[in-house]
Amino acid sequence: MQKEEFTTYHPITNIIFFLGAIILGMFLMHPVYVVISMVMSLAYLFTIKGKKAFKELAYMGILFVLMSVINPIFNRMGVTVLFRYLGRPFTLEALIYGIALGGMLVSILCWFACYNAVMTSDKFIYIFGKMIPSVSLILSMILRLIPNFIKKTKQISQARQCIGMAGNASENKMEKLRNGATVLSTMTSWALEGGIITADSMRARGYGSGKKTNFAIYYFEKRNIILICVMGLLLAGTIFTAVMGGAHAAFIPNIEMTWFGDINMFGGAIAYAFFLFLPTFLNLKEKIKWRVLRSRI
């Protein structure tokens, strides 16, 4: 994976973008908006993951087709009947609605895939920590324990095999299950004992002795403020035009939607596209900057 520019921004900047992209993505069902969201999310996903993105796209493609087909099967409303099967109408409007829905879902999943790459666990915990510090601390503790426990589970089951208590040829399904349960309970016993020590270590370091602060290693520099302002303007533009009816689209029973002639629709789509393009843009900008810098050497 190459260095991704947007990841280096402050978690709050990151989360504002993703909340905006995902919530707007769910609300704006206008086909043009759906296409914008899909294109931009794919562009960003490829920026982050490169060729690896194809792997994730495979199952999204299946989902897309499935959603497009399922909707007209259940949704029988719509005026243009394409064909009837066993007396059930299969309408064009429901099909288009399904395609729009599938497109929306795919773009949301793409945004989440980007989110998962950008919002690493420590950023996630930071955002949580701002709101609910104990929960954020416990999340951090859990994330620390999991790899430990996986390792220990392996150790215990190997230790039991090495004294002939598991993995024998004569073992049946039920014994296997019982063995699994024994390993899990041994691990639990070990883990809880460790938990007591962890608790002691926390108290020894002053946990619960008074007011607690939350330390973060993130810097909120000027570029974050600028980016948040830009995002705010574009978001406001998108939302305002949408409220003015710019993103209006109805599919059933008749397809009716605003088109580019409408100034609200046109302006909104542009604001929306620019907003969603921001992280990809930052990466492009950085790439060009470095190319120029290198060429000067």
Partner 1 sequence: MNKNSKKGLIISILVIAIAIPGTVALSYLFGDRKLYIASVIIMILAMVPFFVSFEGNKPDARLLATLAVMTAIAVVSRVAFIWAPSFKPMAGVIIMTAIAFGPQSGFMCGALSMIVSNIMFGQGPWTPWQMFCYGMIGFVAGLLANGKILSDRHVIRTSVISFFIVVILSSLILDTSSVLMMTTTVTFGSAMTIYLAGLIPNILNATASALTVFLLLKPLTAILNRLKKKYGMNI
Partner 2 sequence: MARIEIKNLSFSYPTSDGRFALKDVSLTIEEGQYVTLCGRSGSGKSTLLNQLKTVLTPNGNKEGGVYLDGVLLEDVDLRTQSSTIGYVMQNPDSQIVTDKVWHELAFGLENLGYDQRTIRTRVAEMASYFGIQTWFHRDVNELSGGQKQLLNLAAIMAMQPSVLILDEPTSQLDPIAASDFLNTVKKINLELGTTIIITEHRLEDIFHASDMVVVMEKGKVIACDEPKKVGAYLKEQNSDMFAAMPTPVKVYYGVADKAKRDLGEVPLTVREGRSWLTSIFEGKKAEINTLPINPYKENETDMPAISLKDVWFRYERDLPDILKGTTFNVEKGSIFAFVGGNGTGKSTTLKTICNMLKPYRGTVMIDGRKISSYKKGELFDHNLAMLPQDPKSLFVKQTVREDLEEMLGPKESKRLEMLEEKNGFENVPLDERIAEVAKLCDIEYLLLSHPYDISGGEQQRVALAKVLLTNPKILLLDEPTKGIDNFFKLQFAAILKKLKASGVTILMVSHDVEFCAKYADTVGMFFDGGMITANVPSKFFAENSFYTTSANRMSRHIFKDAITDEDLIQLCLANFKLMRKKIHEQEQ
Sites of contact with partner 2 (CB under 8 A): 121-122, 137, 140-141, 143-144, 147-148, 152, 155-156, 158-165, 167-171, 175, 182, 185-186, 189-190, 193-195, 197-198, 200-217
Question: By three-state DSSP, how is residue 190 classified?
Answer: helix
Residue 116 binds: one of partner 1, partner 2, none (C-beta under 5 to 8 A by kind): partner 1
Taking the complex as a whole, how short is the minimal distance between the CB of residue 12 and partner 2, in angstroms? Answer: 15
Nearest approach in angstroms of CB 33 to partner 2 is 39
Q: Which does 272 bind (CB under 5 to 8 A by kind): partner 2, partner 1, none?
A: none
CA distances 116 to 27, 45, 112, 265, Å, are 21, 11, 6, 31
Give least dist CB 287 to partner 2, A. 24
Separation between Cα atoms, residue 14 and residue 16, nearest integer Å:
6
Rg (CA), the chain: 26
Running DSSP on this structure, what letter comes out for residue 83?
E
If the CB atoms of residues 17 and 274 are measured against partner 1, the closer one turns out to be: 17
> Distance (Å, rounded) from C-alpha 172 to C-alpha 161?
15
Give the three-class secondary structure for 89: strand
- Partner whose binding site includes residue 27, from partner 1, partner 2, none (CB under 5 to 8 Å by kind): partner 1
Alpha-carbon span 157 to 149, nearest angstrom: 12
Nearer to partner 2, 89 or 194 (CB): 194
Binds 271: which of partner 1, partner 2, none (CB < 5-8 Å by kind): none
